[in-house]
Amino acid sequence: MQEKLKIKLNISKDEKGVKILFINKESFKDGNSGKDIPDFMFLKELGYKGIGVFFVQNSRILYVGLENFKEEDYSSAISNVFKTLKNLKILEASLSFKGLQENIQVAILQGFLLGSYEFNGYKYKKEIEEVKPIIINCIGIKESLLKRVEIICKYVNFVRDIVNTPPNIANSVYLSDLAQNETMKLAKQYKNAEIKATIRSNSYMEEQKMGAFLAVNQASNFPAFLAHLSYKPKKPKKKVVIVGKGLVYDTGGLSLKPADYMTTMKADKGGACAVLGAFLSTIELGLDIELHAIMGITDNAIGKNAYRPDDVLISREKKSIEVKNTDAEGRLVLVDCLSYAQDLDADLIIDFATLTGACVVALGEYTSGVMGYNDELKNQFVESALKSGELAHSLPFNSHLKKLIESKIADVNNTSSSRYGGAITAGLFLGEFIRDEYKDKWLHIDIAGPAFVEKEWGVNPFGASGIGVRSCVEFLSAID
């Protein structure tokens, strides 16, 4: 991976370098004295009104204006702080965390660690210049909190790197090898837990009669892989399985995507990558959860062997699927992976997938859709996501929509007969393959909107966001 350290966070008792100071626009309203702002009169003279970032050279204070005092305001502002420090070539700064609530402290740390991310590993550089990381001296913060945030953010950025890696490099072999190698690297380091990586290929899937998954892989130049990663500490509270859609590239198959819809399809592996990042985070954090990560890895190509609209596929659950659209391929991969996951006797199963454009239409580009049959479980996940710094919202399983995926010749259609409610009908399609005993133990997270966005937002740069890692880890951390 192309990871380079751009920010180094140190725990310190003393201020060193430039001082970072948060201020609010309310302080600059008429009648306020600005007694807590050392350069108040100077800033007013220059017309600064407490919005944006402003550096005063004489006092060596970098003022950071906040619209409100919410987590997202702090994290977004800190992303701008990094850019300012970088542009001014300031290599050391200090920030006091004293008096700030823990959720605000986390937001600030995420602002530094996630907001400093860049992906430019494929640009030609005539001269390789060694760039020193910017040191941030953190005053009044717990070491345990800093370490936790650093681990999670490291894997968010790790996932961003994988998702951003182009498909001519990040093919199915690359992703499955990466999953195995990273898992076994931690297995050597954390010997107090049982950590394994098993990579299943086409022959295994043929034995298991994974007809839906294999159909998607038919025209590919590369084999499909089902990566099964497992982590078992000595006394786990619960057993959880997380499942990820890993389409390393999606042309749409014979139901070919228009050119402008195809250009970001390297991001269709975002679900599997998020699952990998959450899994590796769980190991390093030492969570007392037995965790299994299932990654369904393939691409959806075109060619003489490609599966077709009108094909009928037989899934591992023995249910038949009438193919109406080969661009609804992720759900075909997922149903066989979910079938495999249900054999693991888990307490919870959660899948993550860049599944539908309809979810983006429903919730916008920045929010994940949370679906399932258990409202309490859905609400718990949404709360965890929001607490972690990710946006998520629950979508209802309307039973009347189920008739839209009925087939005349098979058990179910792979797409809806209506253009409306597509995120929910995709979730209901997956639900058809969830056994009765798992209906209340399963969640489906559609991350199609926020997984890859072509403009900056909050702590997220252009491209991959690493969405799903923070919310998943937060949810797992809260399990009793």
Active site (catalytic) residues:
257, 331
Interatomic CA distance for residues 371 and 363, integer angstroms = 13
* Beta-carbon contacts of residue 209 (< 8 Å; ≥ 6 apart): 314, 316, 318
What Cα–Cα distance (Å) separates residue 161 from each residue in 122, 271, 452?
A: 12, 14, 12
Q: How far is CA 220 from CA 90, 107, 214, in A?
A: 49, 42, 10
DSSP code of 94?
E
Collapsed DSSP state (helix, strand, coil) of residue 45:
helix
Rounded CA-CA distance 136/402 in Å is: 53
Of 167, 450, 464, 392, give the one whose Cα is nearest residue 299. 167
Radius of gyration of the chain (CA): 24
Name the amino acid, one letter, at 286. G
Q: What is the greatest pairwise CA distance in the chain?
A: 77
Beta bridge mates, 89:
none
Alpha carbons 293 and 156: distance in angstroms, whole number: 16
Question: Is 443 within 8 Å of 350 (Cβ atoms)?
Answer: yes
Find out whether 161 and 287 touch, Cβ atoms under 8 Å: no
